[in-house]
Amino acid sequence: MAIVDQIEWCETPLVAPTRGTLVEQEIRRQLGLSLTSIPYLAPVPWVAWSFATKIQPVAHIPSRLADLITLVVSMENSCRHCYGATRSILRLTGYSQNRISELEEDFFHAKLDERSKAVLDFSRKCARADPRPDARDLEVLERVGLSRVAVAEVAYVATNTCYSNRLATLLAIPPDGIEDQDNSLLTRLFRPLVAIGFRKFLNRARKRNIRKYASAPGNPQGVPFGGRLVNALQGSPTADVLQSILNGCWHSPHTATRTKALAFAIIARTLNCPVCTAEASQLLKSEGLLQEDIDHLQTYLSSDALNGFESSFIHFARDTVNYQVPDIQFVARRFLTGMGKEEIIELCGLVALANWVARLSIILEQSETA
């Protein structure tokens, strides 16, 4: 039995799946496969589409390395859904069980080159964020020969995985169907052939993802939050993806924009990210909060300017930064039960996205130093 089966995971998802939606069909067409998670996210299209970017649209690091980053980060976050799915993807693309076990035990002792080890170590630091990685950690990646844009992609993949992990964990999405495919008799009998075919299939899905976001119409006013991050990712297809997801989140109608600004502000402050904290303060000001309200909020986690829901929400948001899976699943149920399906999904997506952005902002230190 693998360690993935030992993860404590709530058996009942937080929301029931919504099947047969247009979004689900479009994503299936786009990727060429059905993801178990999509029906759980489909009521909020931007969240469903964001989860489809788990097939990482990277162009400057090998896709195999992106998969290893996803494995290490999902394991770090003990996400049963993402960890199991990534493990199966690695197996289906030809990774042996022994090599995966080596990575799971300690990647420092695995048969990997120094560059991959440095990348995985950095990715794990992004996931922990306790403390958040700093410029010295970025220098290590540059020393092993990664270009500026490759470093940005590594950080993107690691923090995007943190996003998917949080989303799947908060909603307690069940294990992905791809695990069954990996265990099927046919796959076991023809594993080498399956690996060749699956690698090609994934590459096609990756390219389709890149094309979709590259051709997506941008917002002429730019993104309301994380604009500097999107700029820092320029040169990589990931910039378009992040921009699209941030726009989707901001313009989605299920959560008040002030709640969105609060999520970015509190999570950025919890993660000690000065850039995102400053940007989120501007957002809160544009939502009608005075500077003294914002200062009070960031110092004492309360403000008379907040309503009852917002006062509770900020505590839920900060709980999503560092957690143990059973605890956060309990906290999510306590806070979200009684809300509508769309609101639950969007709030989970929102806090996960705020975690993603505040963690990814490490790359600003690199681009600004350069």
Partner 1 sequence: MNAVLPILLAVALVLLLAFLLVRARRRIGRLRAALNSASLELQQVQMAFHRFAPRRVVEEIIRQGISIHGERQEVSIMFVDIVGFTKLAERMEAEQLVEVLNGYFECMSLAISQHRGYVSKFIGDGLMALFGTPHSNRWHALDAVWAALAMRAALKDYNASLESRNLDPLEIGIGIHCGPVVAGVIGNQQLMEFTVIGDAVNTAARIEAQTRFHQVDILISQAIRQQLDEKFRVRELPPITVKGKREALTLFTVESYADRP
Q: Which residues bind partner 1 (CB under 8 A)?
A: 1-3, 6, 76, 78, 101, 104-106, 128, 130-131, 269-270, 272, 296, 299-302, 311-312, 315, 319, 322, 324, 327
Peptide bond into 131 cis (omega under 30): yes
Nearest to residue 47, comparing CAs of 38, 55, 56? Answer: 38
Classify residue 19 as exposed, middle or buried by CB count within 10 Å of its CB (0-12, 13-18, 19+). Answer: exposed
The minimum distance between CB 294 and partner 1, in angstroms, equals 14
Cα atoms in the 13 Å half-sphere on the side-chain side of 171: 36
What's the closest the beta carbon of residue 259 comes to partner 1, in angstroms?
A: 17
Using the minimum distance from each CB to partner 1, give the nearer residue, 22 or 300.
300
Least Å from the CB of residue 309 to partner 1: 12
* CB of 272 closer than 8 Å to CB of 131: yes
Cα atoms in the 13 Å half-sphere on the side-chain side of 31: 21
Q: Minimum Å distance from CB 105 to partner 1? A: 6
Q: Which letter does DSSP use for residue 145 in this model?
A: T
What is the DSSP secondary structure assignment for residue 132, as one 8-state letter?
P
What is the smallest separation between the CB atom of 240 and partner 1, expressed in angstroms?
34
Place of tokens 């899976």: 325
Nearest residue (CB) to partner 1, 58 versus 103: 103
Check if the beta carbon of residue 238 is closer than 8 Å to that of residue 152: yes
| Shorter beta-carbon distance to partner 1: residue 9 or 51 | 9
Q: How far is the CB of 109 from partner 1 (least distance, A)?
A: 10
CB nearer partner 1, residue 105 or residue 180: 105
For the chain, what is the radius of gyration of the CA atoms? Answer: 20
What's CA 226's distance to the chain center, in Å? 15
Contact 163, 20 (CB under 8 A): no
Give whichever of 91 and 148 is closer to partner 1, judged by the CB atom.
91
d(CA 54, CA 359): 17
CB of 292 to partner 1, least distance (A): 12
Q: Name the one residue in this structure whose structure tokens are 């200062």.
A: 295
In the complex with partner 1, the residue whose CB is nearer, 75 or 152, is 75
- Which is nearer to partner 1, 60 or 124 (by Cβ)? 124
**Which amino acid is it at 286?**
S
